Structure 1
Amino acid sequence: MQFRTTVLCTFAALALPLQAHAQAEPIVIKVAHLLPAMAPIHTKVIAPWCDKLAAESQGRLKCQIYPAMQLGGTPPQLLSQVRDGVADIVYTLPGYTPGRFPTSEVFELPFVTTNHEASARAMWDFVQSHSAKEFAGLKPLAVWVNGPNVLHTRDRQVNTLDDLKGLKVRAPSRLGNKLLAALGATPVGMPVPQMAESLSKGVIDGTLVPWEVVPATKTHELTQFHGEPGGARTLTTATMIYVMNQKKYDSLPPDLQKVIDDNSGREFSAWVAVQHAEADTVGRKLATDARNTVYTIPADEMARWQTAARPVTDEWIKETSAKGADGQKLYEDAVALVDKYSR
């Protein structure tokens, strides 16, 4: 009887840590971003990713998602929020904080990127090799570019460089501003959430955004013409990052760190890019269903745009080299990586 009692007590003692583990509160990961909850980045990427973390951690990791800047602040402050621990993870655009990502910005140069997946894989490899300092205090989970930016205009179809002259066009980034200026337009920099109101009030004549942005911003209702640049390489695009506060990651037990690691990296970046591609299809259909004019700017005309835009690349190379980096090599490495994954 005494032996039986001892065994039972032993099992009970062993079970206590297991019960405590099972009953422990999940670790909450605060995920913040700038877009509304209906945006594809929320519904197609962040929410499913969080569900996957919860499943693979057996409920020990739980996301609390804050869309549309619900933690306060403005889109350019997202980077500071994740660095300071206000948020544990953010999705944001480096272009909203000019100068903070000087090397990975190369993917926003004109005519560097190709399709979604190839460009995302290329950017991930590039960041691992060249951009560690830019991500100090952060753990990159995914980096990618969105779809080719389309020129959406209110009441003028842009077929040639001459048609752009004098148009006030929203740009996605610092380099987007420089590109538009080189092409003869008047660039107006602003985050996506401000774009719809600016279009509706006529503050801007058009905008450079990928198709995926159309549904959430109702761009198909605010513009009539949608020019898709022809050719193998995109006119311009925006880099995007999904990053985690490094201290928060380091505070997790190793098995939960592995859950994060298993759901980040090059292939996760490419998967995110695929979701953007699918969202592009949805946005484009809205414009065609609205009987708007959707057209392709021919590749031979785009060759003229590429020549006009070359000074933007040359200036970036010069600026980057003046800061101590090899701008020419960074540019060549980025193009080579895009070529590698585009084959």
Structure 2
Amino acid sequence: MSSNVVKAIRIEQHGGPEVLKLVDVEVSAPAPNEVTIRQHAIGLNFIDIYFRTGLYPHPLPHGLGFEAAGVVEAVGADVRHLKVGDRVAYGQSPLGAYAEARNVPAAQVVKIPKGISFEEAAAIMLKGLTVQYLFRQTYRLQGHETILFHAAAGGVGLIACQWAKALGVKLIGTVSSPEKAELAKAHGAWETIDYSRENVVERVLELTGGKKVPVVYDGVGKDTWEASLDCIEPRGLMVSFGNASGPVKGVDLAILNQKGSLYVTRPSLGVHVNTPEKLAAAAKELFDLVTKKKIKVRIDQRYTLAEVGEAHAALASRKTTGATVLTLD
């Protein structure tokens, strides 16, 4: 395939949604270990905002986005597990998923099974694989636990609610409104706590009969750090996997002692799916739950590539529920 010109989003400086520019970029033939993907749907995630604002630094100018789904258009010389015409998706890639077509390292790409659409795959790869490593690798849930999961009505949260239910785990989800509480419950949350009206720590104590929980999954960060620690039983685990409210800073390790000899970890997806085999196994577990209808992919917002600024504004304002995708069809 000769090089071709496609539309893509680039930023030349950090800032608000206005820094997102739709430009023409050239897609060259894939390197030996890459595939060229003609993209049909692109997933949006909070981490995209961190890169846009510069919270997560990356040399400028650069693209945005880590996950998408589409069709393989060209295959590098060393790639064996993919061929032209395969329906594929990825949830971890070099920055730049906001594009009509692009080259992606083949080791980060998996085939999409029949019965899962491009939009579903793009909406679920990063979020779904996040839940996979949190629930099956970071703290491996056995099926009888009661756990606390923050932001249960968000994109990751709604998958977590369903996955917990499929495992027989009682998930207590924090939410910011009665509508979001209903949404989380409809997706399998055992109980919800509306943190705008209720005290999270007191409610967790009530719901667990004073026992607290063995693990808290916290993608919120700064605003929930202290409350999260107060919900964990002695020698339990605090899993901090994101910072939607800002990063947790200046932690005094003695607090882990005071709160009950607690453990804390700050894991990331990349380390958990760092080989094609690990990625394939995690994706299979996720896709199996989707094809069995144990996990339904809820896409509540759709935008075109040109509307990406609006999409970012909606995501940042906490107005979104479920997943947000950019569509290219």
TM-score by length of 1: 0.30
User: Comparing both structures, which one devotes a greater share of its residues to helix?
Assistant: 1
Larger Rg belongs to? 1
User: Comparing both structures, which one devotes a greater share of its residues to strand?
Assistant: 2
